């Protein structure tokens, strides 16, 4: 895999830390015995899970080429970064999903990823399912406006209005 850190993932887990509404999201990846923590926005984790679901919809899942053992997660790892860009592909020869994650502090679009790893199709399916479950544990989403429902949610789509501050210079009054 060139000189980019990575390899065959032994473990890939989406996680949320904190209470709904104040959660931080990350993906924990164990590759070659090393734990990587990829900090991401909720929407990034959700989009990655949905993209995996879409790929898996059209690919028959067969047994993985390698077995996944119970690797230990190192919570104190220094191998952490905040993801700015993430790429996903499918290697049809090896029947694996390939993920390349770029540190947000990397300015150049053509720079090499900070981590590239491969996941078996069963791992990708488990990741997609865990991501969907993780997203469902958050604040409920209003079906009308798509905003998280708080205790005092006022939906602008149901004859309600958003609580605008009239002194706010960005509010247009019509």
Note the pLDDT of residue 52. Answer: 93
Three-state DSSP class for 75? Answer: coil
Residue with tokens 């509404």: 21
CA angle 50, 91, 68 (to 5 degrees): 75
Parse the chain into domains and list their residue ranges: 6-136, 140-174
Closest CA to 71 of 22, 123, 106, 110: 123
- How much is the pLDDT for 61? 61
pLDDT at 62 over 50: yes
Specify whether the CB–CB gap between 12 and 127 falls below 8 A.
yes
Which residue would you say has higher pLDDT here, 137 or 87?
Answer: 87
Q: For 13-45, how does the pLDDT look when each residue is reduced to its tens digit (9 = 90+)?
A: 999 999 887 899 999 999 988 999 999 999 999
- Reported as a single tens digit per residue, the pLDDT across 100-122 is 999 998 867 778 899 999 999 98
Give the chain's mean pLDDT.
83
Helix ranges restricted to H, 58-120? none
More confident residue, 110 or 7: 7
**Does pLDDT of 163 surpass 60?**
no
Instruction: Say whether pLDDT at 1 is over 60.
Output: no
Q: What percent of the chain has pLDDT over 90?
A: 45
SS3 (DSSP) at 159: coil
Looking up tokens 């604040």 gives 139
For the domain bounded by 6-136, which CATH number is listed? Answer: 3.30.2450
């Amino acid at each position: 895999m060139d000189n980019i850190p990575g390899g065959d993932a032994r473990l890939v887990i989406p996680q949320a830390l904190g209470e709904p509404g104040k959660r931080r999201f990350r993906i924990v990846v164990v590759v070659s015995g090393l734990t990587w923590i990829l900090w991401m926005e909720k929407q990034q984790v959700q989009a990655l899970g949905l993209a995996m679901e879409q790929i898996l919809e059209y690919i028959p899942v067969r047994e993985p080429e390698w077995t996944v053992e119970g690797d230990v997660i190192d919570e104190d790892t220094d191998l952490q970064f905040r993801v700015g860009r993430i790429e996903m592909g499918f290697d049809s020869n090896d029947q694996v999903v390939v993920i390349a994650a770029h540190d947000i502090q990397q300015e150049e679009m053509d720079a090499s990823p900070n981590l590239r790893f491969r996941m078996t199709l069963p791992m990708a399916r488990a990741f997609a399912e865990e991501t969907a479950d993780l997203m469902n544990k958050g604040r409920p989403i209003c079906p009308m406006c798509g905003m998280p429902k708080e205790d005092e949610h006022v939906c602008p789509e149901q004859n309600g209005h958003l609580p605008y501050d009239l002194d706010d210079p960005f509010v247009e009054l019509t």
